[in-house]
Amino acid sequence: MTENANADGRHDFDFFHGRWKSRNRKLADVLDRKCTTWVEFESSLNCEPVLGGLGNVEPFVAPAMPPSGEPLDAMTLRLFDPRTGNWRIWWISTRQPGLIDDNPMEGRWSGAHGEFFGAEVINGDDVRVKWDWDDLGADGARWEQRFSWDGGATWELNWSTIHTRAR
């Protein structure tokens, strides 16, 4: 993570600004807790700061998203709250046009690792969601998504992405 004089957390995602190529590995259907089939695909993104560094936007493009092979356009919006030291993260996609989740992921960084938590209702079940971010240095980052179907006692990985800086 980038060291800076302003230690309140607003620069935690600065390392991720710029263009990235991403290698994704995810369950074919992350919403089906019985799914065991993993798929892989490529994507690209460009993370840019907004609001004087209090946030960033990250358009995401996957030319062929398995299992359908259809393209996916999405965007992440991250906003830092200096009062709490927490980030809130929203995911917006063409799969749910016009919708922004009222329940964003929320969390913070500790060193080169960030943890962000949220809650969803999936097929009638309350599910806790965890996003792990790792700053792997100037040219790499990792993001992982886990679901907990038991209130956070156990976590099941369902999506992992390795980001490599595009040149």
State the residue range of the domain holding 138.
Answer: 14-165
Task: Answer whether 144's CB lies under 8 Å from 160's CB.
Answer: yes
Among 70-74, 95-99, 101-105, which is the least confidently predicted range? 95-99
Whether cis (ω within 30° of 0) applies to the bond prior to 67 is yes
CATH of the domain at 57: 2.40.128.20
Query: How far is Cα 114 from Cα 106, in angstroms, rounded to an integer?
Result: 10
Residue in the structure block whose two tokens are 């097929």: 123
User: CA–CA distance from 128 to each of 106, 108, 116, 119, 150 (Å)?
Assistant: 12, 17, 11, 5, 8
> Which helix (H) or strand (E) element contains residue 96?
none
* CA dihedral over 49, 51, 56, 62, signed as positive or negative: negative
CA–CA dist 125, 142 (Å, integer): 28
51 lies in some domain:
yes
State yes or no: pLDDT of 97 exceeds 80.
Answer: no
Partners of residue 54 on adjacent β-strands: none
Residue with the two structure tokens 């935690």: 12
In a domain, 130, yes or no: yes
Q: What pLDDT score does 2 carry?
A: 42
Residue 96, in any domain of the structure: yes
Residue 5 lies in a domain: no
In tens, the pLDDT along 38-61 reads 999 999 999 999 999 899 999 999
Q: Is the residue at 40 inside a domain?
A: yes
- Write the CB contacts of 117 (distance below 8 Å, at least 6 apart in sequence): 105, 106, 107, 128, 129, 130, 131
Q: Is residue 7 part of a domain?
A: no
pLDDT of residue 3: 44
